[in-house]
A and B are shown apart, each in its own frame.
Chain A
Amino acid sequence: MEDDAPVIYGLEFQARALTAQTAETDAIRFLVGTQSLKFDNQIHIIDFDDENNMINKSVLLHDAGEIWHISGSPADKAVLTTCYNKTSESRVLTCAAVWRMPPEWESGNHESPDDSSNNPQTLELLCHLDNSAHGSMACVLWEPMGDGKRVISLAENHVLLWDLQESSAKATISSSATLEGKGQLKFTAGKWSPHHNCTQLATANDTAIRGWDLRSMSQIYCIENAHGQLVRDLDFNPNKQYYLASCGDDCKVKFWDVRHISEPVKCLEEHSHWVWSVRYNHSHDQLLLTASSDSRVILSNMVSISSEPFGHLVDDDDLSDPEENQQEDKGKEPLQDSIISTYEEHEDSVYAVEWSAADPWLFASLSYDGRLVINRVPRALKYRILL
């Protein structure tokens, strides 16, 4: 079965920020934020037409500065946050803001694709997340599956929980926590856990991974030396509440059970350079994407530590031969954790990779040179998982 060729889209600026439009469940849509110091930065809205294998894009102007991080509201698909660099008086500060996309972008784009580039529309600023007291923002996290009212931002060594009020026009800090310790501590990444009623957060600073309880804003666990070097990214298993994946500069991807933090559950070492991003598939948590500065994206099948280690096999039996249910035990295939595929379409470091919010079999990866590649899970595997 031949798989569809990857779809490549080139931006003319360098880019690091990529997110799926979380609230959009029909269209396959990704948002990319560019990084340019000399020109106005843009947010590219990439719409992927699955049937025709085509890309439609719109560009919104983001003139506040170069975008380091972007994330979309889970409730309102027009709302998003960015972390951007603001340079003033030869001082560089990373700020964060909540934006609303202008309502016309969609229609306007479709009618005259050429015009949009010449005359891009501007994002509508909803509010700033004021960080003058806390320093540079590393990232902004929306409450998973929330109503778009709560965000967390990580600034230097502070965790700030914001309440967005008056249709996001105003943001106030509801609570905060500070990581204390010797040296200059700085959060590099974080993830809001979708489990436990969204009361937990995991952050990464240097080589450690920490878990926070948002009700008390206190640390609940800390994996020291989770990686040999800097931890670059984290992701929660969407189906197993205690499972967490992390990646870092030691080229490894590690899987943790936060109840037993002394040793990782599993460790992958497939990349030949730093791993910048790790993402669980939202529906099938055995599928795992990793992006690395060795210019590769790797899709792995981590069956053994997924929520359904034999799941699809049981279905298999049910569908084909019901009376063979009792054979389930011996019918178990040996668990095979394997690399499904290595994607080498990028030529520069890949800093971000995201699953589509609408189609669980589709994902996008973004390399520094502005190349966005949309790929699919191989069909053979897809059918094996489904059937």
Chain B
Amino acid sequence: MSSATTPPDSDPAQRRRVHSMLKLYYGLNEEGKATEQAESLDPCDINGPHFDPEIYLNKLRKECSLTELMDHESCMVKQIRSLDSDMQTLVYENYNKFISATDTIRKMKNDFKKMEDEMDCLSANMAAITEFSARISGTLQDQHAQITKLSGVHTLLRKLQFLFELPARLNKCLELQAYAQAVSSHRRARCVLQQYSHMPSFRGIQDDCHVIMEQLAQQLRQKFRDGGSSAKDLSECVELLLQLDEPAEELCDKFLSHAQSRLEADLQGLEAELKDSAVTDTGAGSVQKTSPGSNPVSPSSSVSNPFLSPAAGTDILEFIDRGCNEFVSNLCLVIASYQELFINRPQESELASKNIPEMANGKLHVFVDTLAARYFSLVERRIQEEKGVGDNSLLVRALDRFHRRLQAISKLLPGSAVPSQGTEIVVRAARERIKQYLSALQTFYHDSLTDVRQALAAPRLSVGGASASGGGALVGGASSKDAPPSLPELLTSLSNFILNQLKSVLASVHLFTAKDITFSNKPYFKGEFCSQGVREGLVVSFIKFICQSSRQYCESAGDRGGSTPPALLLLLSRLCLDYETSTISYILTLTDEQFLVQHHTPVTPVTALCAEAREAAQKLLNHYVKVQGLIISQMLRKSVETRDWVNTIEPRNVRAVMKRVVEDTTSIDVQVGLLYEEGVRKAHSSDSSKRTFSVYSSSRQQIRYAPSYTPSAPMDTNLLSNIHKLFSERIDIFSPVEFNKVSVLTGIIKISLKTFLECVRLRTFGRYGLQQIQVDCHYLQMYLWRFVSDENLVHFLLDEIVGSAAHRCLDPSPMEQSVIEVICERG
């Protein structure tokens, strides 16, 4: 058998198998319970717990052959042997352990016995200690109670001592001016004294304390009233007084009145400054009028002193700065400390119950409002003095600072109307500013026009001389003796001046809306200021003003001898036309872009302005035509009216006045050509200047010598109507002209020739008178056709003149055409 057993450590797998089988045997296999149960049902499982040897044997005998049985038997034997050896090994292995365990247990048995004895001893000792302790505390009980009582008495005595010493202490505090300590001491004692006031001794103390505290309060009040102390001291005072049950309302009033006196001083400083500058300002009278009696303190400072220069006063920025630094910051301090004292007090204090915060708040608002109103009136007066339009940035910066500092108040005093009033002042100042700019622009425009007038007048005085203004060079003064100054240059410089001025004004006004300016994001400055103020009030008004003043030139000059030089009319007309075509839209676009105008409110559209400008231009040009036409008309009229046409000599020359007419027309042509385009003219034959009067003279002669004396013809068969039929269009003499040179010249020539015609019809001519008219008309014919849009018009009017002269002639024998031509060419 021993040979069959394997050594225990020879194979771990073998050992484990053995272990597990042992475990199975002893039912220790916990993890394999399911399998155990599955196995347990089979009685033929040799390793199972329900193994039945009989069944197993029977089964083997039934199923297996002999050899198999034999094999099986040997295998079983082998297995049994191995199992036995395993068992032996196990027993051997565990034997030593059993031995040592037994030893240990025996040793423990001995030790425990010793311990048990010691424990018994301990419990006996403890019982003794307890007994002793109980005995000690029993003896000490009385003394302990006594000590507790004694310490209570001690505390009470200390308190009493405090009370008794209180008056002295308070006095000492009073002497040392340690008011805070005094008050806190008193506060501590107050309740007790109150409670035991029925006891005479306490009562005495209480009375003493009262007297002292009264004194203290008196001193505090005095200090409070003196006002020389700092804000911190003051607030301390107030704090203490409040703790002393001083009525809060009175304190508020006192505090405020004290603050008021200081702020008043600031205001008076400002006012003095204002008065100084008002005195220096020559316009002080008007300033005074604009804010009459807004400040009762202000004496009548209307006595202006014109001898001091206005520069002597401080500028507005300094003024506002001073106002901000002194008044506004002091006001803020006052508000802050006041709120600290009266409004933001801890709620648990008894003061809260008396609605003191509300009362105090109301007082504060009234106080701030009255002072701010005075301050504002001062600031407004100062702003109104700001009349010069040179530098807007100063004003804007001043306003900005003004507005910015007021925001502090709004933070401190949320419900106050002061900031909004301040904003209103800024808004008003901005509005006022726009008005000033507008009037400045208007003055500038007038001044520019005066300059232009002078420039126009200057070269006339020095005809032919090199014009000092540098204008005449372009024109080529050699060709015409009455060389006008360079109109285009004047025009460009004028319009540039105006535009630049307008731009600079826009830039100045734009400062109001700069991003870093606090009030620029107010709704007014975002909307109304841009659209109504700048666009409408400034730009549009200025353009309208230009048109308006231009129109006035037409009206005033008409009757009273034409004081406006015609060249100026022409220049202005062109200016207005330029405005119509480009400048207006440019300016408005510029404005809209710069100011981001959002048109909430209806604004003047560009087209309306353009129409107005065009109307003005048209009117000016019409007037120009009229004035120039009248000048030439006057020459012609005088020449016709003053001559004795019956007794004149045979014409040898063109009359000088005709040459003058042509010259003047030429110079007008040059003048207009400088500013206006050529314009369209009807095509005319190349030999227009050579056109003869043969057409009308032949037809006229026919009629003249063969008059149809058919009476009472229902329709007149007059010659003139026949001619009219050729030109069925009626000629309007003083009719509007177009914006070009030809049209202007046509208008002037029409007026002149029509005058000539009407004058001729009022005269009676001799033979030579008629011939002179013929010569004159031919001369005009030779030169005037080139200026007009339709040369037929000139022909027609001249035909009419000669025709009328022939009718009015006593001896109508016209001059030979060839002779006329010779005379005209010679002249």
Contact = CB atoms under 8 A, between A and B. Distances in A.
A228 B559 contact: yes
A90 B647 contact: yes
B720 A369 contact: yes
Interface in A162-198: none
A349 B710 contact: no
Contacts of B559: 225, 227-228, 250
Contact of A225 (B560, B721, B807): B560
Interface string B450-467: 000000000000000000
Interface in B565-606: none
Contacts of A91: 646-647
A364 to B, nearest CB: 15
A41 B734 CA distance: 34
A295 B707 contact: no
A85 interface: yes
A10 B713 contact: yes
Interface stretch (B149-157, B487-495, B758-766, B779-787): B758-766
Contacts of A14: 807
B708 interface: yes
If over half of A's interface residues share one DSSP class (helix, strand or loop), that class is named, otherwise mixed; here it is loop
Contacts of A347: 720-721, 724
B731 to A, nearest CB: 8
A245 to B, nearest CB: 17
Interface string B627-664: 00010000000000000001100000000000000000
Contacts of A92: 646, 764
B424 interface: no
A248 to B, nearest CB: 11
Interface residues of B, number: 35
B730 A344 contact: yes
Contact of B711 (A12, A37, A295, A348): A12
Contacts of A87: 646, 764, 810
A128 interface: no
Interface string B800-824: 0000000111100000000000000
Nearest to B723: A347
A299 interface: no
Contacts of A22: none
A251 B625 CA distance: 14
Contact of B718 (A59, A228, A274, A369): A369
B347 to A, nearest CB: 69
B732 A294 contact: yes
B732 A12 contact: no
A368 interface: yes
Interface residues of A, number: 36
B60 interface: no
A91 B766 CA distance: 10
A273 B734 contact: yes
A273 B629 CA distance: 12
- For B711, B754, B758, the residue with the greatest tally of chain A CB atoms inside 10 Å of its CB is B711
Given A37-B809, A227-B559, A228-B558, A10 B715 contact: yes
B718 A37 contact: no
B329 to A, nearest CB: 62
Contacts of A11: 716
Interface in A75-93: 85, 87, 90-92
A8 B715 contact: yes
B758 A293 contact: yes
A272 B735 contact: yes
Contact of B810 (A37, A227, A295): A37
Interface string A1-28: 0000000111110100000000000000
Interface in A247-300: 250-251, 272-274, 293-295
A12 B721 contact: no
Contacts of B758: 274, 293, 349
B754 to A, nearest CB: 6
Interface in A44-96: 57, 59, 85, 87, 90-92
Contacts of A295: 730
B117 to A, nearest CB: 139
B713 A37 contact: no
Contacts of B710: 12
B100 interface: no
B564 to A, nearest CB: 14
B721 A369 contact: yes
A112 to B, nearest CB: 13
Contacts of B764: 37, 85, 87, 92
Contact of B733 (A9, A12, A117, A272): A272
Interface string B533-574: 000000000000000000000000011100000000000000
B715 A273 contact: no
A344 B724 CA distance: 14
A370 B716 contact: yes
B646 A371 contact: no
A304 interface: no
Given A273-B733, A368-B761, A117 B558 contact: no
A37 to B, nearest CB: 6
B716 A369 contact: yes
A229 interface: yes
Given A12-B708, A14-B807, A347-B724, A90 B646 contact: yes
A10 B646 contact: no
B173 to A, nearest CB: 89
Given A37-B809, A250-B559, A273-B754, A229 B630 contact: yes
A9 B708 CA distance: 17
B719 to A, nearest CB: 9
A85 B808 CA distance: 11
Contacts of A57: 712
A10 B715 CA distance: 5
Nearest to A368: B761
A39 interface: yes
A348 B733 contact: no
Contacts of B810: 37, 87, 90
Interface string B720-740: 110010000010111100000
B649 to A, nearest CB: 12
Interface in B757-781: 758, 761, 764, 766
B200 interface: no
A272 B720 contact: no
Contacts of A273: 733-734, 754
Contacts of A59: 711
Most-contacted residue by chain A among B713, B761, B766 (CB, 10 A):
B761
A294 B732 CA distance: 7
B709 interface: yes
A247 to B, nearest CB: 14
A59 B385 CA distance: 84
Contacts of A229: 630
A128 to B, nearest CB: 20
B713 A12 contact: yes
A39 B810 CA distance: 11
A272 B646 contact: no
A347 B707 CA distance: 20
Given A12-B708, A225-B560, A370-B716, 8 more contacts: A10-B716, A12-B709, A37-B809, A91-B646, A344-B730, A347-B721, A347-B724, A369-B720
Interface of A: 8-12, 14, 37, 39, 57, 59, 85, 87, 90-92, 117, 225, 227-229, 250-251, 272-274, 293-295, 344, 347-349, 368-371
25 contacts: A8-B715, A10-B712, A10-B718, A11-B716, A12-B707, A12-B708, A12-B718, A37-B807, A59-B711, A87-B764, A87-B810, A90-B646, A227-B559, A272-B733, A272-B734, A294-B733, A295-B730, A347-B720, A347-B721, A347-B724, A348-B721, A348-B724, A368-B761, A369-B720, A369-B721
Interface of B: 558-560, 630, 646-647, 707-718, 720-721, 724, 730, 732-735, 754, 758, 761, 764, 766, 807-810
Q: Which 7 A-B pairs have the closest CB atoms?
A: A10-B716, A117-B711, A273-B733, A272-B732, A92-B764, A272-B734, A228-B559
